[in-house]
Amino acid sequence: MQKVEHIGIAVKDLAVSIPLFETLLNTVCYKQEFVDSEKVTTAFFVKGETKIELLQSTEPGGVIAKYIEKRGEGIHHIAFEVKDIEAEISRLSSQGFQVLNEVPKPGADNKIICFLHPKSTNGVLIELCQTVIPGR
Give the DSSP per-residue string, the chain: --EEEEEEEE-S-HHHHHHHHHHHHTS---EEEEETTTTEEEEEEEETTEEEEEEEESSTTSHHHHHHHHH-SEEEEEEEE-S-HHHHHHHHHHTT--BS-SS-EE-SSSEEEEEE-GGGTTT--EEEEEEPPTT-
pLDDT at 135 over 70: no
pTM of the complete model: 0.92
Q: What is the band of 104 on the pLDDT scale with cuts at 50, 70, 90?
A: very high
Q: What is the band of 37 on the pLDDT scale with cuts at 50, 70, 90?
A: confident
pLDDT at 113 over 80: yes
Instruction: State the average pLDDT over residues 92-96.
Output: 96
More confident residue, 97 or 50: 97
Percent above pLDDT 70 for the chain: 98
